[in-house]
């Protein structure tokens, strides 16, 4: 995605976006627009804006009940029935982390390795300056598991909304960190294992939250890291992306 990021749209592309949102294109052009939508952010935004304008017309459509079979088929196709839920998947992974911790005589060694990889091992792109009005999103994932957290940053208001899906524990808290390219991780907040939270971000930190900025979640003692640096294993990481 984003291969033709931020390019100005031509007149022709703007019409294509409007007509795609309207749904009037014949198959070939419709498919072409659909492809462009996935590749070009400017085009995507143009289409989304049109879609949001036109959707209210659907209020005129009478709701109708689909047959109950539809939902069962959806559940079957997605394997949602009688299967491991993502939370359980996470729990299994969590247990393997605990095992790992046992083997490494405590938590800090693991954290140090994970963070060292984060800080030095990954060819992170330098956070870039972005216009202050743009929103950014990050999906924090754990290796081998689904997303543990999604975050949306409203830079203008210094406001970040996070949704989390992690294994809850009575013995630990989860701490969210900003991992700068240079220097130590900066604690942003303690986050609930399951739920949503609105975080107010200080200006000093906000200045570092550009495209490519890296977040990490570590497992900490209740109340958060006693040292101000991550002490437990890093269970999920992700980078901010401009939307």
Summarize as ranges the residues that interact with other proteins (CB under 8 A): 15, 18-19, 21-27, 30, 34, 44-45, 48-67, 69-71, 73-74, 77-78, 80, 85-87, 137, 139, 146-147, 150, 152, 163-165, 196, 241, 243
For residue 211, what are the contacts with CB-CB under 8 A and spacing of at least 6?
125, 127, 128, 130, 136, 240, 241, 242
Quick one: which of 200, 229, 40 has its CA closest to 118? Answer: 229
The nearest distance, CB 125 to other proteins, in angstroms, is: 18
**Nearer residue to other proteins within complex by CB, 85 or 203:** 85
Q: How far is CA 148 from the centre of its chain?
A: 9
The nearest distance, CB 188 to other proteins, in angstroms, is: 18
The nearest distance, CB 93 to other proteins, in angstroms, is: 13
The nearest distance, CB 124 to other proteins, in angstroms, is: 20
**Nearer residue to other proteins within complex by CB, 71 or 120:** 71
**Nearer residue to other proteins within complex by CB, 112 or 241:** 241
The nearest distance, CB 176 to other proteins, in angstroms, is: 15
**Cβ-based neighbour number of residue 183 at 10 Å:** 9
**Nearer residue to other proteins within complex by CB, 47 or 179:** 47
**Nearer residue to other proteins within complex by CB, 214 or 231:** 214
Q: How far is CA 67 from the centre of its chain?
A: 34
């Amino acid at each position: 995605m984003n291969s033709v990021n931020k390019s100005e749209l031509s007149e022709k592309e703007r019409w294509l976006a409007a007509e795609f949102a309207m749904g009037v294109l014949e198959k070939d052009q419709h498919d072409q627009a659909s492809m462009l939508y996935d590749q070009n952010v400017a085009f995507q935004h143009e289409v989304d804006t049109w879609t949001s304008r036109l959707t209210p017309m659907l209020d005129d459509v009478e709701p109708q009940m689909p047959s109950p079979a539809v939902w069962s088929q959806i559940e079957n196709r997605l394997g949602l029935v009688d299967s491991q839920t993502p939370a359980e998947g996470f729990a299994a992974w969590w247990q393997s982390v605990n095992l790992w911790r046992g083997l490494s005589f405590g938590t800090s060694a693991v954290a140090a390795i994970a963070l060292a990889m984060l800080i030095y091992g990954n060819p992170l792109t330098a956070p870039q300056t972005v216009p202050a009005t743009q929103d950014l999103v990050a999906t924090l994932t754990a290796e081998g598991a689904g997303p543990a957290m999604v975050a949306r940053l409203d830079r203008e208001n210094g406001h970040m909304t996070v949704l989390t899906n992690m294994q809850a524990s009575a013995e630990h808290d989860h701490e969210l960190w900003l991992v700068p390219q240079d220097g130590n991780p900066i604690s942003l907040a303690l986050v609930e294992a399951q739920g949503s939270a609105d975080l107010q971000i200080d200006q000093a930190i906000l200045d570092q939250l550009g495209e490519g900025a890296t977040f990490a979640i570590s497992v900490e003692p209740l109340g958060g890291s006693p040292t101000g640096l991550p002490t437990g294993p890093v269970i999920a990481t992700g980078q901010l992306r401009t939307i």
